[in-house]
Amino acid sequence: MSQLYKEDSPFQVFISFKKYLDVLEHIRYNDRLEYRANYAESLIEKTKNFKELRDGFQDLSLLEKHEDLIRLLLADLFPTGLTKNEIKAASIPLANITFNYTERFKNILADAGTDFEIRFREVDEDEFYIFCCCLILQVHFSADLRATLPLYYDIPNKEGIIKHYKITVNSDFTDVYPDKDTKIPDQDTVTMLLENIDDIRLWKKYFPPQSWILSGFAIISLIDCTSEVALSDLKSTLIKVDLENPAPDENLKEIFKSYFDVPELNFGLMLFNQKDKKLETLPIYENVFTSHILDFWLNTFDEEVRKTAFENINYNSKPIVISDIDKLDEEVKKMPSFDILKNTEIRSFMVIPIMKDGELLAIMEFTSAIANSLNGLKLKKLESFSDMILFSLNRFSFERNNQIEAIIQREYTSIHDSVVWKFRNEAEKYFNAFLSKKIYTLKQISFKNLTPLFGFSDIRASSEKRFNLMKVDLNHQLECLHHILTSINSDSEKYLLALEIFENELNNEIKADTEQRFQRLLREEIHPYLQGKLETNATEEVKNKIKNYTSQITLQNQLFYNQRRSLDESITLVNRKLADVLDKSQVEAQEIFPHYYERFKSDGVEHNLYIGQNISPDADYSQKDVHQLRFWQLETICNMELEFQKFKQNLPVPLDIASLIFVYNEKLDIRFRMDEKRFDIDGAHNSYYEIIKKRIDKAHIKNSDERITCPGKIVIVYFGLENQKEYLQYINTLQKKGLLKNDVEFLKVEDLQGISGLLAIRVSLA
């Protein structure tokens, strides 16, 4: 037996014609017109041997078995004279089961194709269940609820355009009553349910699935409301663009097809940039829009022609509508622009400027491969949502500007999330004063009494590597030039002599300006000389050597840069990996206590943290938070080192890093410097901290030539034994985790200029 109704419903459904047969019984005995009484009697007699039609049934195959009898029985409800005009059928109430169609309904379903299955537009299941319960209240309890749930069929026509039909239901011939074991809720319960209209579990408790009987049939009528539904969908689509999560509606083109009733339709839209006087695409709609005419406009005409055209639009913004391009003047058909129409199979089009306050905001185009499909009547339909297009484009521009400002804030300034509240407070005071037409001077943004944390993972000997690779690049370049110049054997002797001088200087007594002088020699003499050889009757061998040589030089400085480029790529990869690990770990650190965080990338990554009550006045702050963040910092540095070890062998140039943490107990103040758009240490009394940071980078162990930092080891620099005890506890914890080895070294740091008494702990990574 076919499934008549989904299980998750308060109804058991039975198809029954009892209520309609009762109407016929009344006509049979009470109608004064004899022919009507006889007609009713004949129908009753024809059905008396089929008790299931009165008693009800759930076997859907009986609908097909009694198809002719049911059509005869319902003939009064489906007049023959209206069958080609009305879209009408009998139906099982609130189900996708229909029968006894009018001719027009049959034709609509035939055009949809044999694979099409008629179904309600998607309805939320919980909402539908509660709606069914409300119908029970409305019918059985005579409650004046006016419960409505708009129902639609979306049916494609033979051209593939989706047509939208609103369903109206006549349920005069249906009945609703409880099953024999169903407990009927009292009035207080009904009131309580209506107060909790969205609580599906509560409704199912008092109206369990299949606890009520729905018996009978309904008459449904369909009203074509394609334009209204498509217009509503268009407005919803235009409103809901979210630039933070761009996801264009892929159905936009189909919506336009339904709205204009044009099967082969393309739509394009471009924004007009007032500043640069040019059209711009909307990136999120690149795969949806097809701007044939606008693309041609952009790519064919020169800038002056386009600007003149845009200026003319401001004076005459009348849309262009061409119903059939074949009917254009012969002179127009000879223009280059006509070819784009033929090549893209455009037969009909509309181009509509969108204006705001007399200025061009955007240009829309509609194109179709069907002649006469676009015309003045279609253009008139645009008026229904022109205001919505303006609203959507204005909102898009506003949101885009906000997003651009957010990117600038995120990528190009140093205002961290933890301190942005103070900037906002100051900005609000300034803005409120502006609204009140008062003068307000922005105050300096500063935070006082903060504990600093500093650390770095430095790429070891990067300057030395860069110097050595520079020599490799330049020696290779000298070698290539030597091969070329000796192949020429005519007037190249003076250049060969100059190259020998530079080669000797490069490999023996290199000077500060050696590279610059070599670069000048290349730019002013040798390279023009080689270019001249390319343009004369030099041999093919020489020309090929020169071309191979020029393919290896950089245009900026005329030098070979291959080895140094590999070093730059390696440093970039290391910095990116270390910064990613640090930034990801920072999310967890902010949960310990909100603090100001910044990092810098050069030949390695260094970071600063500033912690204190002043950063987050509403949070509970104690020295315990400092200890937790110090442990976080040490563990993070270890993880950065371990991540580096995993990918170092894949670097174009082998590199090593050495990591250091500096522990400082004194409180500091920081201030936002408006000229540099970043925070910095505030006050001369705090400069001692900055001096130490700059000098410990290359510091040595006291009475030794060995640097305190060492690849594969973590160094912690501090002043007092109290810090030593604290960090030994952290090291012990990380040793138990398997991150550090048991080879702790206690070191004294050499006296630096103005700095003495520094101590250090050094320990190897596991």
Q: What is the pLDDT of residues 491-528, one digit of tens each?
A: 778 888 888 888 888 888 888 888 888 888 888 888 88
Phi and psi at 563, nearest 5°, equal: -65, -45
Kindly report, residue by residue over 251-308, the tens digit of the pLDDT: 777 888 888 888 888 888 888 877 777 777 765 565 556 666 766 666 555 667 667 7
What whole-number distance in Å separates Cα of residue 223 and Cα of residue 687? 80
Alpha helices (H) in 283-375, listed in sequence order: 292-300, 303-315, 330-333, 336-343
Contact call for residues 523 and 554 (beta carbons, < 8 A): no
Alpha helices (H) in 149-251, listed in sequence order: 187-195, 200-206, 226-239
Query: Could you tell me which residues come within 8 angstroms of residue 101 by beta carbon, excluding any fewer than 6 positions away?
Result: 88, 89, 109
What are residue 280's DSSP bridge partners? 271
Tokens 């200087």 belong to 505
Contact call for residues 499 and 506 (beta carbons, < 8 A): no
Kindly report, residue by residue over 639-648, the tens digit of the pLDDT: 999 999 998 9
And the tokens for 486?
């000796």
**Angle at CA 265, nearest 5°, toward 259 and 270?**
95
Residue 706's Cα: distance from chain center in Å?
Answer: 52
Cα distances (Å, whole numbers) of residue 589 to 388, 584, 593, 597, 740: 46, 9, 7, 10, 21
SS (H, E, C) 49-87: CCCHHHHCECCCHHHHHCHHHHHHHCHHHCCHHHCCCCC
Read off the pLDDT band of 147 (50, 70, 90): low
CB atoms within 10 A of CB 578: 27
From 74-88, 154-168, 414-428, the region with the lowest mean pLDDT: 414-428
Kindly report, residue by residue over 177-231, the tens digit of the pLDDT: 999 889 988 888 988 988 898 899 999 999 999 999 999 999 999 998 888 888 8
Q: What is the mean pLDDT of residues 365-378?
A: 87
Tokens 């299931």 belong to 52
Give pLDDT, residue 413. 60
Kindly report, residue by residue over 649-686, the tens digit of the pLDDT: 889 999 999 999 999 999 999 888 776 677 777 776 67
Give pLDDT, residue 586. 92
In 3-state terms, what secondary structure has residue 261?
coil
In 3-state terms, what secondary structure has residue 449?
strand
DSSP string across 404-433:
HHHHHHHHH----TTTHHHHHHHHHHHHHH
Q: Where are the beta strands (DSSP E) in 490-648?
A: 596-602, 604-611
And the tokens for 493?
């002797």
Cα maximum dimension of the chain: 130
Computed over every residue of the chain, the mean pLDDT equals 84
For 277-312, b/e burial (b = at least 16 CB within 10 A) is: eebebbeebeebbbbbbbbbbeeeeeeeebeeebee
Give pLDDT, residue 623. 93
What are residue 680's DSSP bridge partners? 671
And the tokens for 261?
């009733």
* Nearest alpha carbon to residue 321 among 270, 272, 262, 372: 372
What whole-number distance in Å separates Cα of residue 362 and Cα of residue 359? 9
Give pLDDT, residue 581. 94
> Is the pLDDT assigned to residue 72 strictly greater than 50?
yes
> Is the pLDDT assigned to residue 385 strictly greater than 80?
no
Give pLDDT, residue 3. 47
In 3-state terms, what secondary structure has residue 110?
helix
Contact call for residues 152 and 162 (beta carbons, < 8 A): no
What whole-number distance in Å separates Cα of residue 758 and Cα of residue 723? 11
Read off the pLDDT band of 161 (50, 70, 90): confident
In 3-state terms, what secondary structure has residue 740?
strand
Contact call for residues 518 and 501 (beta carbons, < 8 A): no
In 3-state terms, what secondary structure has residue 592?
helix
DSSP summary character for residue 284? G
Q: Where are the beta strands (DSSP E) in 645-698?
A: 657-663, 668-673, 678-681
From 179-193, 363-377, 423-437, the region with the lowest mean pLDDT: 423-437
Read off the pLDDT band of 712 (50, 70, 90): very high
In 3-state terms, what secondary structure has residue 560?
strand
Q: What is the mean pLDDT of residues 80-94?
A: 89
And the tokens for 89?
């059928």
End-to-end CA distance of the chain: 70
Helix (H) or strand (E) holding 587: helix 562-592
Contact call for residues 445 and 415 (beta carbons, < 8 A): no
And the tokens for 597?
């965080």
Query: Could you tell me which residues come within 8 angstroms of residue 360 by beta carbon, excluding any fewer than 6 positions away?
Result: 272, 274, 310, 313, 314, 317, 353, 354
Give pLDDT, residue 608. 92
Give pLDDT, residue 1. 32
Contact call for residues 454 and 664 (beta carbons, < 8 A): yes
List, in order of start, the domains of the chain with CATH numbers. 11-224 (no CATH), 240-394 (3.30.450.40), 466-544 (no CATH), 566-764 (3.30.70)
What whole-number distance in Å separates Cα of residue 142 and Cα of residue 592? 60
From 48-57, 439-448, 466-475, 511-520, the region with the lowest mean pLDDT: 439-448
pTM for this entry? 0.51
Phi and psi at 349, nearest 5°, equal: -155, 160
Q: Where are the beta strands (DSSP E) in 137-264?
A: 152-156, 162-170, 174-178, 212-216, 218-224
> Is the pLDDT assigned to residue 725 strictly greater than 60?
yes
Pairing between β-strand 713-718 and β-strand 759-764 as defined by DSSP bridges: antiparallel
And the tokens for 328?
């254009």
Crossing angle, helix 336-343 and helix 292-300, to 10 degrees? 140
Tokens 């521009």 belong to 397
Query: Could you tell me which residues come within 8 angstroms of residue 642 by beta carbon, excluding any fewer than 6 positions away?
Result: 739, 765
What whole-number distance in Å separates Cα of residue 578 and Cα of residue 457? 8
Give pLDDT, residue 685. 66
